[in-house]
Structure 1
Amino acid sequence: MIQVLTSVWALLIGVVLIMLGNGMHSTLIGLRGGFEGFSSAELAIVTSGYFVGFLSGARLTPRLIKRVGHVRVFAALGSFVSAALIAFPLIAEPWAWTILRVLIGFCMSGIYVTAESWLNDSSTNENRGKVLSAYMIAQTLGIIGAQGILTLGDVATSALFIVASILVSVSFAPILLSVSSPPMTEAARPMGLRELFTGSPLSTVGMFLLGGVYAAQGGMSAVYGTQINMTTAEIATFVAMLFAGALVFQYPIGWLSDRMDRRNLIFSTAMVAMGASFIGWMSGGQLWLMMIAAFVGGGMTTPLYALFLAYTNDFLPLEDMPAASGGLVLTFGVGAISGPLVIGWSMEHLGPQSFWLVLAATFAVIAVYALYRMTRREGLPVEETESYVSVLPTASPMAVETASAWAAEQAEAEAEAVAQAEAQADGEAEGTKTAPGKKDG
């Protein structure tokens, strides 16, 4: 692992800095929006704007790169993000913030595509899995660290937005200075919704619902904290717990995923998340209960994303996996646009605690649908399933497609190794049976 980090350390430092800036601004929206008197519904629209831009950026950035090159696109998008972050406190209007969020989402998607392309180009087939894992850990640590930085400033001033802008600007230096050649940036055309649903109804429906959950947890949790009068430090800790849980639970759930029917694991994970959401709803304002609910609920959300990807790949040939991954990312993005709108409306009309009720209801639907799908199709034997790869919802389609293809290749290589070992064992056993006969002759 040390050799892997040595080869991509500069890229990973850049990723951490990017996530520090982006993670700060996501929470700042809820904090500063509450200070400015924005309603839950208005902040929900602002939150959804990011994912509108993110989806657009994922589709258009490869075309821009083909026209003007990686470095120019990377630098231009970074400049727009830095400018947009500084503009938030200057134009404190919901419509302006929505436009800025769309712009940031578009640019961040393009930045991820380019950075992940360079990261993929810097790795080999032998270490690609470890590089992807290191990248996902770097992303999560960046988001968690961003919440700590928020406690060092006053949300009523422009200082924290400026700090976020500086972090994003500085993040480009280690990335641009460490790459030696422009990477390939070819994303597969996403699979159509009908074809995707036919191949894996559970993953298609689950990804849409999970997109709403993830966007609500990351974007509306600070709004919820503001409305129940949490302090800035408490809100920052609350958001950090959502992502800390993902860091802790990703590996054990991934380990289980390769050893049992994934639909059972999807059902169980969704049920645990539903239970955590109910604990948050019944917490009665007790901070420690809400922190536990955030840690467990957030810890289940991210592994579910990777579970749906892995489950879809189980039923597809290798050549269809990139297109299916792109289709699932698109489905997740559409859900991420709608999720904050639903929770924002519910918080506006039913009160802040409906934040937890909507999350619980969504996880319940995922669990029930997983049970239903178990009655409609036989599960695959564990030895025939693809490898689980820890992919975060913050990754671009480029990284998701790369991870899916790598997992499939690893599964095929393992199957071939097992087949060769069995053939060798059979040959040795056959030789043992014939050896006495030769001796007697």
Structure 2
Amino acid sequence: MLTARRTTTSPAWQFAILIAVVMITGLSQGLLLPLLTIFLERMGVPSDINGLNATALYVGVFGMMFFVERILIKVGFKRMLLGGMIAVTIAMLLFPLIPSMGFWIVLRLIVGMGDSALHYATQLWAVSISPADRRGRNISLYGMAYGVGFSLGPLGINLLKINDAAPFIVTAVLFVIVMAIAWWMLPDRKADASTGMEQPPQRYRRSYQWAWFALMPAMLFGYMEASMNSGFPVYAMRLGMGEASISYLLPFFGLGGLILQLPLGILSDRWNRKAVLMICGIIGGLVFIFIPMAGDNTWMLLILFMLAGGFVGSFFSLGLAYAADILPKAYLPSANMLASLHFSIGSLLGPYLAGMGIKYISIGSIFYILACFFIVFSVMGFKFRGTIRTATDS
């Protein structure tokens, strides 16, 4: 029985365990995308099919979103969290056993569903145990923990020097360790079917109507994250770069986002959040244009990756913060759901469009498409008024 274990009642310890869970989840996602892309590129799979295969993970994430709330209410936080971890762990161990593209699609779907369950349970749990005066800080730490894990994930590619199965086995072992800690120490929390907040009528339509510009960064962030981690390994290998270079370069993209996340958040608090988003979009877009010009120059790519990641790596959180500025409080849960849907849609499109661009346009098209999206988004900002709404608006 889970309740027979020595669970902790300390919110601080619970939060620390949840941080460990989300960090290892981010690590698995950060590793899996480029790792499987490398394997499929070795097999001679066309870049567009390679990208299409990568979208299976995000199909799993997207599809699971429609069921997570009901599952959470039925089984509770802890069982849902452990179920997600078990699914990802089993899938990780099966990847190297059957090197088949069709089988990998099924496994990626399972990983996506498990990750979706994990994120939903851990994020709501973290919010529920955080005191009001530290809730913002704790959610920022939660996001940074995922970012650190996602950035460190590609380093696992270096384990290929030992054996092709080594990255999967090491990741699975880390999951088992964290899962054992969660099983032993976390209490068995139940979820209430009620949100405890009044749900205004037409909340989704009005959230879109009032804050469409603030919801777009989530889609751009999802597209960027997925296209970079699935498309850059193909791009680099076709330039003749080794797997070690890929594993070291990708983390610097995430590192740039981690370094500038807090300063940009503070700047947007003190100045103008819409202006910060627009300026970061333009600068990030221009940096993406320069990346193909660097060729296979590792040091130049490293610098450009840090700059691009720094300026657009906070788009998801800045967009949500801007939506919170504009919308009445009762509309924020709906806005969060829409932002998550946007992120999933962007993640679904990223690998496939990146692969199509590499195959039919040029290997550098992955960065030109990203540049176009971010710059167009910034220009659209001039048409968005960003009027602050109140609960009495209709």
Q: Confirm whether residue 298 of structure 1 aligns to residue 309 of structure 2.
A: yes
Q: Distance in 1 between matches of 2:274 and 2:69?
A: 34
The code of the aligned residue for 1:223 comes to: V
Q: Structure 1 residue 21: deviation in Å? A: 3.0
Distance in 2 (CA, whole Å) between partners of 1:187 and 1:241 is 42
CA distance in 2 between counterparts of 1:212 and 1:145 reads 19
**Structure 1 residues 127 and 142: alpha-carbon distance in aligned structure 2, compared to 1, 3 A threshold:** same
Larger Rg, first or second structure (1 or 2) = 1
For residues 361-404 of structure 1, give each alpha carbon's deviation from its aligned partner in whole angstroms, at most 9, with x where no partner exists: 1112111111232xxx2666xxx99xxxxxxxxxxxxxxxxxxx
Assess if the C-alpha contact under 8 Å between 1:277 and 1:359 holds in 2.
Answer: yes
Question: Quick one: structure 1 residues 86 and 186, their matched pair in 2 at CA, closer, same or farther if it must change by over 3 Å?
Answer: same
Query: Conserved in 2, the CA contact under 8 Å of 1:118 and 1:179?
Result: no
2:29 counterpart letter in structure 1: N
Aligned 8 A contact 2:48 2:352 in 1: yes
Q: CA RMSD in A?
A: 2.7
| Counterpart code for 2:341 | L
The residue aligned with 1:60 is 67
Q: Aligned in 2, Cα 1:116/1:307: closer, same or farther, shift over 3 Å? A: closer
8 A contact 1:40–1:347 mirrored in 2:
yes
User: Do the aligned partners of 2:63 and 2:113 also contact (CA within 8 Å) in 1?
Assistant: yes
Runs of 5+ in structure 2 lacking a partner? 1-9
1:139 and 2:146 aligned: yes
Cα deviation, 1:274-331, whole Å, max 9, x if unaligned, reads 1110110211321222112211212222312122212222221111111111112112
- Verify: 1:271 aligned to 2:282, yes or no: yes
Q: What pairs up with 1:16-415 in 2 under 5 angstroms?
A: 16-154=23-161, 157-184=164-191, 194-373=205-384, 377=385
Distance 1:157 1:12 in 2: 29
Q: Deviations over 1:243-283 (max 9, x none)?
A: 10110010111111112222221110001111110110211
TM-score when normalising by structure 1:
0.78
CA distance in 1, matches of 2:316, 2:323: 11
> How far apart are the structure 2 equivalents of 1:127 and 1:304?
22
Cα distance in structure 2, aligned partners of 1:87 and 1:30: 17
In 2, Cα distance between the equivalents of 1:34 and 1:187?
48
TM-score for the superposition, normalised by structure 2: 0.87
Query: Does the C-alpha gap of structure 1 residues 27 and 274 become closer, same or farther in structure 2, counting only changes over 3 Å?
Result: same
Structure 1 contact 114–185 (Cα < 8 Å) conserved: no
| Matched residues, number | 377
Query: SS state of the match for residue 99, structure 2?
Result: coil
Aligned to 1:423: none
- Larger CA deviation: 147-156 vs 74-83: 147-156
Query: Distance between the aligned counterparts of 2:193 and 2:238, measured in 1?
Result: 44
